[in-house]
Structure 1
């Protein structure tokens, strides 16, 4: 054999088609994040005889801190894999390929709006045969905007039926909107980038409700954020991810919808818990002999890693042949916090700074 080598590649790709009559336009884009080869045995241009028996070759690769998170979508992906090759002259090479997940952390504590509450209301007129049959209104409220996978989402829904019909169904969904950017290879293309949006939904609450005319109902429940890639997909210039909560209330042929954006991160918000503050007991004119006490550090539970709720894809590409193994379906995994219904534990912080010595 010539050598045994290990090839690392990380790339982002987008691709979709637009049909107009009999013509078809392709839009594509690609980014490269990793392209690196390690020779584990042998050399590039000489042949060597490998010793018989089982052998292990340790290796390591330092990843850049700005790599985007792994993602598999309907019109593109951000994918990382390593491919081991036995390079044999005058014979087919033997290859095995494995994908791996990269996480670009999104710390919710770095986003002030992640802690903002969500409150939205909407009113919809109900159409009748020849005139209006009244209206319905709904209010959706949530205590904050930022969440991590596995975290409970506590929501409140208030529905007021001022129509002549029953409210039949309510649905609360988490919608993932993925925006792909690509360029046309057509000779008539302007060269400007085009975008294409694909959406997936995950149901948080679905129920058949019988809210009679001139009645109202309140729903206070908890749903769990599933395993998902973080918002924005930072580090990738051709794929963007946003999340929206969608409340749908159905009355006959009419539908009321409320949509509010939320943020999915990988590092949870640190929720403060106030504790009593105590006055200083150091007399005026003296110096403290010990440094001031600091609040205890926030300790997150170590996250597990769960496969993406929307599934994955086959990682075979144009460079793989029948001599390449390890090409089974691949699903990226994301940090997942197992908190249960109570959510993250609070951190103890002083409710007020301690007074100065001359104020005691």
Structure 2
């Protein structure tokens, strides 16, 4: 028979919207194979899915110990599926047909390489694997065999990464600050207040970069502060419909009385650290740490059924039999191209043709990024024909210089 594989020209299998996905269908035919054609296709979509347990009632007849029958109402539960789909890419091409105009012929034994190329639309959102859905792109090669129950197929997923340049996102380079004050103790046993002010040098970062976090902690309480926890949290939002619904790109999900969209959120910790401290009562301390950002998807909101945002969260906990926790959080933006201190010209619009490994960035910037597997690993939502697990890759700047707190923060 024949072995079929897909090889992408990009060794990381990473491509950019508005450019071409290029690769080769590789076939090793051990003995002649009767076939109508060999096809390669490309597909991409956002997909959401979950089930909801709904209570139903029914009347059932019961028999008591005396043999008397009576009818009662019984509650039971059914699983109701909710899903949504937004299509982005769907195309195919024939890479082999029988010679001499025949409808069917044999592919002779041997090794074959059939190159292919597909143009990605400019509106493709980033590849993403989440708890209640995904945005996934793949190519599928198929040997169309006559009189066989199943065709010979193979499928390979690839990553799509639109440029998310922090230099053109409003407020990405502006410092952030939030203050929280909380009374410690309970009811009539108040122990004084604790004030926490969290500062960030800017709001936009890229994977591989470290956030220079600075916190001013003022302990006016009679309790010691014993613990500080810092997290970067990814918050993903999903929209689905009872049964199923196709939502076209660029539209806003809507529904009628019976087709209103259902929504879910999923929170995942991108990074977490916890540290024992001892800040005595009446003390003031400036607490600084570098918070690393591992490989993760950039913030995005250009898909109608899936969006992703990020928050940096800090919790300060006191000691004592009744401890108190003070929480503060700031929204941050994750991009794919870091902030530069030099003037950056507007990016050119994508042109059809071969895609570079990654959009160009200014020469004075750090080295172009590597592509690292997502910190969350492979996606958990599977299709019926999924066999291999897929982990998307995202740009990562392991050697980027962390931003120091700017003067504006010091003056606040």
**What's the TM-score bracket when you normalise by the shorter of the two chains?**
0.7 to 0.9
Distance verdict in 2 for CA 1:314–1:239, change over 3 Å: closer
1:23 deviates by: 4.6
What per-residue deviation string (whole Å, max 9, x for no partner) do you get for residues 108-145 of structure 1?
Answer: 11112101101111011112374212121111111000
What per-residue deviation string (whole Å, max 9, x for no partner) do you get for residues 7-39 of structure 1?
Answer: 211011011233344354432110111111111
1:73 deviates by: 0.3
Q: Determine which of 60, 63, 66 is the counterpart of 2:117.
A: 60
Equivalences for residues 131-146 of structure 1 within 5 A: 131-146=189-204
Equivalences for residues 262-341 of structure 1 within 5 A: 262-272=332-342, 298-313=364-379, 317-318=383-384, 320=385, 327-340=387-400
Tell me what 1:356 maps to: none
Find out whether 1:192 has 2:260 as its counterpart. Answer: yes
Find out whether 1:158 has 2:216 as its counterpart. Answer: yes
Specify every segment of 5 or more residues in structure 1 that has no aligned partner in the other structure, as ranges.
Answer: 274-295, 321-325, 345-360
Find out whether 1:108 has 2:166 as its counterpart. Answer: yes
Distance verdict in 2 for CA 1:205–1:271, change over 3 Å: farther
Distance verdict in 2 for CA 1:65–1:212, change over 3 Å: same
Runs of 4+ in 1 over 6 A off after TM superposition: none
In 2, the alpha carbon distance for the partners of 1:18 and 1:217 equals 48
CA RMSD in angstroms comes to: 2.6
In 1, the alpha carbon distance for the partners of 2:327 and 2:380 equals 36
TM-score normalised according to structure 1 size: 0.81
Instruction: Decide whether the 8 Å contact of 2:198 with 2:214 is kept in 1.
Output: yes
Specify every segment of 5 or more residues in structure 2 that has no aligned partner in the other structure, as ranges.
Answer: 1-34, 56-76, 245-255, 344-361, 404-412
Q: Which moved more, 1:217-226 or 1:188-197?
A: 188-197
Instruction: Decide whether the 8 Å contact of 1:314 with 1:328 is kept in 2.
Output: no
Instruction: Decide whether the 8 Å contact of 2:49 with 2:82 is kept in 1.
Output: yes
Q: Determine which of 84, 88, 91 is the counterpart of 2:141.
A: 84
Find out whether 1:248 has 2:315 as its counterpart. Answer: yes
1:103 deviates by: 0.5
In 2, the alpha carbon distance for the partners of 1:271 and 1:225 equals 20
Tell me what 2:184 maps to: 126
Q: Which moved more, 1:20-29 or 1:208-217?
A: 20-29
1:86 deviates by: 1.6
SS in 1 for 2:167: helix
Tell me what 2:357 maps to: none
TM-score normalised according to structure 2 size: 0.71
Instruction: Decide whether the 8 Å contact of 2:217 with 2:286 is kept in 1.
Output: yes
Distance verdict in 2 for CA 1:102–1:233, change over 3 Å: farther
